[in-house]
Every structure is written in structure tokens, then in C-alpha cells.
Amino acid sequence: MKPPSHLPPRGLSTLFRRLCPSEDSLYLWGDLDEIFVDMALTDGVQKARLWYLSQFFSSLPEILWHHLRWRFSMFRNYLKLSMRQLQRHKGYSAINIIGLSMGLAACLLILLWVQYQYSYNGFHKNSDNLYWLRCYQQYGERRVEGWGIPPAVAPALQSEFPEVLNSTRLMNGQIEALFTVGQNKFKDSFQAADPSLFSIFDFPWVKGDTAMLSDDPLITVISESMAEKYFPSGDPIGQTLTMNNEVDFKVVGVMKNIPKNSTLQFDIWIPLTFLNQKIRANFTHTWHNCCFRSYLLMQPGFDLHAFNGKIFNRIREAKPDTKLDAFIYPFKDMYIKAYGVGERVKLISWISLLILLMACINYMNLATARSARRAREVGMRKVSGATRQQIIQQFFGVWGITRPHHSGHAGHAGSDHTFPSRIQQINRCAHHGSPSFQSGDDADSACTHLYHRHHCR
């Protein structure tokens, strides 16, 4: 066995074989290794390695040129083959392309819809620690999970339990009103909520400062769309909105339009305490009115089950004759689970997979039906000297060329990155070897050049 010092540099030797991987070149590499060993024994290992390195860099341009030329030739050959097949078998190609592309398009559309459904409320940075405060409601022997809760519960829990970092309350639903700006009148809906809504949830402002939020019941925050609608040519901060020709609200902030994938949707915010003036005194401090929604920001890592046990009888403690029992529910599961969207999403997801499976089965059936003709083509290529690896590369190359037709149709369903990915697949398929219709002599020309350079020294 030769000493390790008498062997060619492993990295360069491996690179040479990767760039020229044909079978005939193995003999040339064997000769190169023998020459290197002879030089190492006679002239020294250092001189042999310098020679090997010089041969590598002097021959590298020609090796790369041949390597890239074969890759381009393979690509051009596979492109011709695919175009010929499309032209010769128009009916087969149309059924194949349209069937698979429609299946992929339908599947992609459904998967995009599923992804959108699961993205609901995901833009809130505190979504993992946000909880929806709800209550069980007893109707005879039947107990249901209510969506609302009395407005006095959330402030009480925040003051009594250290697990609760913050809380906010919203009127369950929006109230329609007539808003007047100068001579213009608009009928829109507003959301009554605590100012802490903007500190718990991520509804960023584009104008104004959240520090301007106070206990003043006559302030308001509007969205960008409302700002453009009410004040198209001026700064809305400090302007006045008149509600129902009775009450004036001062605009203290403009928030970004709320994303569509949010369960909380509103364009005009008004303090919840305003309802004490509009409806009746202490309307937001009762223990029996469930027309409010409340949300809690909890300590990370708290015990949900134990906390629900602590607050279960809190409403009964304040109002013994009630039939309400409090509990909290993860806010991130609100849309998918509490709203019942999850079952529909799962059903439609299975439908998308079924559509894709049917499209693939149809494609495979058509491909199997034409296997006899392709078998004759394979036989001709084997007779011409093509290896198994070259035939596999040729079939995958043709597949990679024709698939952009499918991905082109499916790309309109929402994927603009399919074509580049297919190009990468083609490049990977065409990475090694020469086209199967060519002999192996030209592929070894760079190696032969390196071999003769040594013998002609």
C-alpha cells in the first residue's frame, strides 16, 4: 500500500473526477495517479504536488468549457425532445398538461386558502399569552359556552390575580351612527372599547401618540381609510367628529387599517366609558350583562387549568343569584376552534389532496399507456451505447422541460416561484455526463489533454 504522502491531493483528484465522470476517463485518472506516484518517489512529494496543481489550473478552463458545453447540449436535446413529443401527440399532451395543471392549480388555491385561515390573529406579538374571557351559561339542565361576559369581571380579575398583566373590554358588536365632518355626513359603525385595547393588541398607529389616550370619553381613533374618507386634504389629528349631531369627539390618533385576517374589525374606536353617558350610568360596571367581550394578557407559563379553577365562581361571589361561571380560552384558538372553522378547513384540505391524487393518477395512467413506445426508444438508445444513468437523466430532463407547462398554469393560482424551481431541477438532472446520443470520447477530451501534456513535457 502506498504511503498517504505518495497519493495525489484528494480534493483535486475528486474534483477532476466530478468534472469528467465518464467511464473511459477512469483509465486516464489511473495513469495520472501513477505519474504522480513516480514523480513523488523520484523528484519528491512537494514537486509532484506542485506539478499536479499546475496541471489542474492550466487545464481548468478547458475542463470547465467542456463541462458547461455538455450541460447546455443536454438541455438543448431535452428541449427538442419535449417539443417534438408535444407536437406529435397533441391530444395526449393536451389532456396530460391540462389535467395535471388544473389539479395543481386547484390544490394550490385551496392550500393558500388554508394557510390564510390559519394566519388569523397571528400578527399580534402577544398572541400566545392572550386569552378570551368567557362564561358558562346555565339554561335549565343545559349549559352552553357563552361568547360574552359581564363588563365588571375583567377589571376585577386584573386587580385580584397577579397572573393577569392587563385586560381590555369591547362592546359585543359595533354600533352604527351618523358622523358629521363640516358639511359632510357619513353613516358608519364604531367600536366601543377600553383604551388598553391598543396596548394588548397590535394595532399600530400612523399618526398620533398612544400616550394621548386617557379616561376622556370624548376622544376617538380612526383608521387610515376613515381618515382619507373624512379628512381627504388635511391632518385628522385634533379634528372633530360629531356623532348623531349631538356629541363631538376629538381625533387623537390614526391607526393602520386592520388586516382582514383579524377577528377584531373596526375603523372607528370610541372609549367604552362613553356608553355610560349614551345608554345609562354604570352600564360598563355590571355583573349580569353579557353583551361585552373581554380579553386578558396573561403571564407567560401560567397554569391555565388552575387559573380557570380560581375564577370559576368569581361571578357568583359578586352576584349569588347568577347562572354564569367564568373561564378563559386561548385567543389564538378563537377563530379555528371556537368559531368552528377548523372542521371546514380540514374537510377542504382533504378535498385538495384528493384532487391532487386524482390528477396524479390520471397522469400516471397516461404515462403507462405510452410506455410501450418509450420502451422502443430506450432500446434504440441502449443499442447506440447509452448507459442506464444517461437514460435516466434523459427521461428526467424531458420531464423537467415539460413540467413548466404545468407549473405555468398553476402559477396563476398564486405561486410565482415554480418556474425557477423547475429550472433548478433541470440543472440538477443535467449536472453530470454527456447526452446519451453522443459517444464518450469528447467528454474525455479535457482529461486526455491533461494526460498528453505530461507525456509531451
| Per-residue model confidence as pLDDT tens digits over 119-159 | 999 999 999 999 999 999 988 888 899 999 999 999 999 99
Please, what is the Cα angle at 339 between 256 and 279, to 5 degrees?
65
Against a cut of 0.75, is the pTM above it?
Answer: no
Q: Which of the two residues, 89 and 171, has the higher pLDDT score?
A: 171
| Per-residue model confidence as pLDDT tens digits over 14-54 | 776 666 655 555 555 666 777 777 888 888 888 888 887 77
Mean pLDDT for the stretch of residues 366-374: 72
For residue 410, the number of C-alpha atoms closer than 13 Å in the C-beta half-sphere is 28
CB 393 within 8 A of CB 81: no
For residue 301, CA distances in Å to 163, 297, 305, 309 come to: 10, 12, 12, 16
**What per-residue confidence (pLDDT) applies to 4?**
54
Q: Which of 152-166, 344-358, 408-422 has the lowest mean pLDDT?
A: 408-422
CA-CA-CA-CA torsion sign (108, 114, 116, 118): negative
Alpha-carbon gap, residue 54 to 35, rounded angstroms = 14
